[in-house]
Amino acid sequence: MEVSEFFLKLLVILISAKFFAEVFAYLRLPSVLGEVIAGIIIGPSVLGIIVPDATFYLLAEIGILLLLFEVGLETDVGQMLKVGIQSSLVAITGVLAPAFAGFWISNYVFHLPFVVSLFIGGTLVATSIGITVRVLVDINKHQTKTAKIVLGAAVLDDIVGVVILAILYDYAVKGEVNIINTAKVVGFITVFLLIAPLITKLFVPLISKLSTKKRTRGMIPTLIISLILILAVISHEVGAPEILGSFAAGIALARRFFLPLGSTIDHYSHDLAEKIEEKMTPIINLFVPIFFVVVGASINLRVVDFTSLNFWQIAGLFTIGAVVSKMVSGVWVKGDFRKKLSTGIAMVPRGEVGLIFAEVGKKNGIFDDMVYAVIVFVVALTTLFAPLMLRFIMKGEE
Amino acid sequence: MEVSEFFLKLLVILISAKFFAEVFAYLRLPSVLGEVIAGIIIGPSVLGIIVPDATFYLLAEIGILLLLFEVGLETDVGQMLKVGIQSSLVAITGVLAPAFAGFWISNYVFHLPFVVSLFIGGTLVATSIGITVRVLVDINKHQTKTAKIVLGAAVLDDIVGVVILAILYDYAVKGEVNIINTAKVVGFITVFLLIAPLITKLFVPLISKLSTKKRTRGMIPTLIISLILILAVISHEVGAPEILGSFAAGIALARRFFLPLGSTIDHYSHDLAEKIEEKMTPIINLFVPIFFVVVGASINLRVVDFTSLNFWQIAGLFTIGAVVSKMVSGVWVKGDFRKKLSTGIAMVPRGEVGLIFAEVGKKNGIFDDMVYAVIVFVVALTTLFAPLMLRFIMKGEE
């Protein structure tokens, strides 16, 4: 790619994202939807200006790292742990129900082969943590109890999603599953998530010192982004998604971080927290929309044959299965029906994780064009409509 | 490139840049040198961890755009025009003398073919605007009169460098030079540089309005970077280097911008200028070092056979030619010998522009391995030592 071509494409991404985000915000809808729709419009589905290549995918990955960092920064671990049991139950149901629904519809209703059905089940598992948290932030509900349950569940979901993808991939390609390896990965991830924020916390005094003693400019953004990258890479090494590393980095630097025993670590000055927020916010705001535009541009709706009745039958049933099976997970939430419903709906969007599954399935010949098109369609639908529904159902929730 | 590999490489770039920048700043040397040396160390010359690929080149390009934007932002057009004649004379001499020296040494001393000699002459022309302005900022001399003359001369140099590259390339590859085309390009560039800041200025009220009426986050960084990208792309389209577009964007948003007729445009609130500075600084500070690390990592000193006496003779003579011919340009500066000397030395670094010439020459078979190695060596030497000398010679200058 020529430099000026890259600049032009980056320009189109930034401007279209901002334009549609503003329009959606004006209509009182989650602006993240505007960004995804900007991606669908400039992507292969409509205009075909942007077909995300390696560089834009990598910039998008920085965006999602930064978003999860910011979410971590605003996360109160104590409050998250308080709703931990509800989160876990929501997550477990949110994994089992869609996996079962996907498998059942594929295998029993449409008589698809066993491996294909398994893979479709896996595809319907992972909640898009990115879409979900951005919607909650956009509609200003990210500090509600529902949001805390959903965040915990989405994080767990994401881990389980990656583990399931690994297992299914092994099974589909090699014909066997290495249980010991899988158990190891789960163990590593658990240990990592428990100790990463604590160990990171120990480096906060160093960051604080470097940011005041510095002789060059830009110490804070460089240190914070380096920290995010280190934890993302370690997270990847232990077998977890990179975004969990940046989430851990955010938690470690959160103002309200405290040890499970109830004692807070108070090396962390209020001053540093403010400086981090001030310096990181412009960078976060620049990169995050790139992620959602790339998600939109990764959805190629042209693969979908909208004139085929057969397609509508299959896609319709899968969409219902994908939505209902996630909504079921809301039953575990304490409170009125509305809380259960909003939690269930918040778990619905599949976004980028579903697309990754679909790509892997297609590349390895597990999904044919029809199944691939159905998955892309289901992902697009859950990504776009769950946020809309959430916007209306969570009105007034605190 | 895998996502986690990208994260790891980005981490190595950011951390090594910051580490060496701090060490150099501690030694009271320009921190930009630390960044270039970080690049040489992690690049193919020493460790070989980073061999810049497309993505890092593109991130580096954003870095240099942002640096030139920032320089533009702090530029007082009026004062630049005041020293315009001196700048022009410095620039013209800074083009003709090295071109002649390079050609003469190649053709008459070492009897290299005519086209090769022409190309070497061209390679020695362009001053690295990036290195030069960063050094001046690092040693806190960017508001001196010398800095203003050098900045103007470096900008002109960069334009002439691109035009010469185009002419030489045509001549070397096609065997003919299209004079009319060249004249057109020069005309376009001149018109662009004159009117781009003025037209951009007309959009400032719109930016100001959008940044207050916004409903989504991150309006200012998105708008400013979009503006920079638009002007960079237009600049490329008229045949000028992209960085001149971002420089024009900076000038348009500078606080001290005024029309040549002496009337200032006062739509521009002090408030907006402060917001732009606050939001853009972290982004600039994050990206700019990537550029200098990539410059360092683009220099592969392994191509140089340091044991060859022949190499030292050729490289030695070319280095002397490259340094002396640029230093001559300082004669036009009014004032004492020290001012002439510091201007001349500030024009010495060749940096990325020289490397681009060398790459083009090598790819098209104009430069053989020896000539290529000599050029790389001369670029490395002028890039590294001119800043050091400047640091000592400009001591006390105001």
pLDDT tens per residue, range B228-237: 999 999 988 8
Burial class (CB in 10 A: 0-12, 13-18, 19+), B175: exposed
More confident of the two residues B267 and B296: B296
> pLDDT at residue B321 above 50?
yes
Residue in B25, B225, B282 nearest the CB of A14: B225
How many interchain CB pairs under 8 A, A with B?
A: 155
| Mean of pLDDT over chain B | 86
CB contact under 8 A, A236 and B3: yes
In chain B, residues with a C-beta closer than 8 Å to the C-beta of A26 are: 215
- pLDDT at position A238, please? 86
Who contacts B237 (Cβ-Cβ below 8 Å, separation ≥6)?
Answer: A4
pLDDT of residue A269: 65
Cβ distance B329 to B73 under 8 Å? no
Mark residue B176 as left, alpha or beta (left: phi above 0; alpha: psi -120 to 50; beta: remaining).
beta
Residue B355 contacts residue B338 (beta carbons within 8 Å): no
Distance of alpha carbon B351 from alpha carbon B15, whole angstroms: 22
Q: Is B19 on the interface with A (CB under 8 A)?
A: no
- Give the range of the structural domain holding residue B186, as residue numbers without chain letter: 3-393
Nearest to A72 by CA among A21, A125, A137, A126: A137
Please say whether the dihedral angle defined by the alpha carbons of residues B232, B237, B241 and B245, taken in this order, is positive or negative. negative
How far B353 CA sits from the closest chain A CA (Å)?
A: 15
Separation between Cα atoms, residue B206 and residue B220, nearest integer Å: 12
Does A398 map to a domain? no
Of the candidates B18, B236, B278, the beta carbon closest to that of A222 is on B18
Q: Residue window 21-40, chain B: list those with CB within 8 Å of chain A.
A: 21-22, 25-26, 31
Contact A125, A160 (CB under 8 A): yes
B8: CATH: 1.20.1530.20
Q: Do A54 and B55 touch (CB under 8 A)?
A: yes
A212 touches chain B (CB under 8 A): no
Q: State the pLDDT at residue B2.
A: 85
B226 touches chain A (CB under 8 A): yes
Tell me which of A1, A2, A3, A244 to substitute to probe the interface with B (most B C-beta atoms closer than 10 Å).
A3
What is the total residue count of chain B?
A: 398
Residue predicted with more confidence, B136 or B181: B136
Distance (Å, whole) CA A236 – CA A238: 6
- Residue B100's contacts (CB-CB under 8 Å, 6 or more residues apart) are B121, B325
Q: Which residues of B touch A14 (CB under 8 A)?
A: 222, 225-226, 229
The C-alpha atoms of residue B97 and residue B283 are separated, in whole angstroms, by 38
A363 touches B: beta carbon within 8 Å: no
Please check the confidence at residue B170 and state whether its pLDDT lies above 80.
Answer: no
pLDDT at A187: 86
Q: Cα–Cα distance between A15 and B191 in angstroms, integer? A: 26
Contacts of A281 in chain B (CB under 8 A): 217-218
pLDDT at B263 over 50: no
Q: How far is CA B70 from the centre of its chain?
A: 13
Give me the pLDDT at residue A73, please.
85
Q: Is residue A209 part of a domain?
A: yes
Per-residue confidence band for B211, with pLDDT thresholds at 50, 70 and 90: confident
Chain B contact set for A213 (CB, 8 A): none
- pLDDT of the residue at B316: 92
ipTM over 0.90: no
Average pLDDT (B298-313) is: 87
Q: Residue B284 falls within a domain, yes or no?
A: yes
- Asked if the structure places residue A181 within a domain, the reply is yes
CA proximity to A42, closest of A385, A296, A375, A387: A296
Q: Is residue A169 in a domain?
A: yes
> Which residue pairs, CB below 8 angstroms and at least 24 apart, start in A186-193?
A186/A159, A188/A238, A188/A239, A188/A240, A189/A159, A189/A163, A189/A238, A189/A239, A189/A240, A189/A244, A191/A238, A192/A234, A192/A235, A192/A238, A192/A240, A192/A244, A192/A248, A193/A159, A193/A240, A193/A244, A193/A248
Closest partner residue to A18 among B15, B25, B222, by Cβ?
A: B222
CB-CB under 8 Å, A4 with B222: no
Give B375's contacts (C-beta < 8 A, 6+ positions apart): B120, B123, B318, B354, B357, B358, B361, B367
Of B25, B282, B285, the CB nearest to A215: B25
Using DSSP's 3-state secondary structure scheme, residue A15 falls into helix
Residue B398 lies in a domain: no
Interface test with B, best of A65, A229, A292 (most B CBs within 10 A): A229
Residue of B163, B109, B116 whose CA lies nearest to B361 = B116
* Confidence band for B376, pLDDT divided at 50, 70 and 90: confident
Q: What are phi and psi of A394, to 5 degrees?
A: -85, 0
Q: Is residue B360 part of a domain?
A: yes
pLDDT recorded at residue A38: 95
Q: Which residues of B touch A236 (CB under 8 A)?
A: 3-4, 7
Rounded-to-integer distance, Cα B283 and Cα B62, Å: 10
Report B:230-259 residues touching A (Cβ under 8 A).
230, 232-233, 236-237, 242
Amino acid at B206: L
A225 touches chain B (CB under 8 A): yes
The pLDDT of residue B267 is above 60: no
pLDDT of residue A63: 93
- Number of compact structural domains in chain A: 1
* Nearest in space to A242 (alpha carbons), one of A74, A88, A63, A54: A63
B212, B274 Cβ separation under 8 angstroms: no
Length of chain A: 398
Q: What is the pLDDT of residues A304-353, one digit of tens each?
A: 888 888 889 999 999 999 999 999 999 988 888 888 999 999 999 887 77
Q: Splitting chain A (398 residues) into consecutive groups of 10 residues, what average pLDDT does each group show?
A: 90 96 89 91 92 90 92 81 89 91 93 90 85 88 88 85 77 77 84 85 84 85 94 89 88 68 53 86 94 89 86 92 92 89 90 78 83 88 87 79
Cα–Cα distances in angstroms (integers) from residue A359 to residues A123, B255, B323, in the given order: 10, 50, 55
Per cent of chain B over pLDDT 90 is 32
Q: What is the pTM of this model?
A: 0.89
Locate B252 and state its tokens. 């348009």
What DSSP designation does B108 have? I
- Of A133, A239, A58, whose CA–CA distance to B57 is shortest? A58
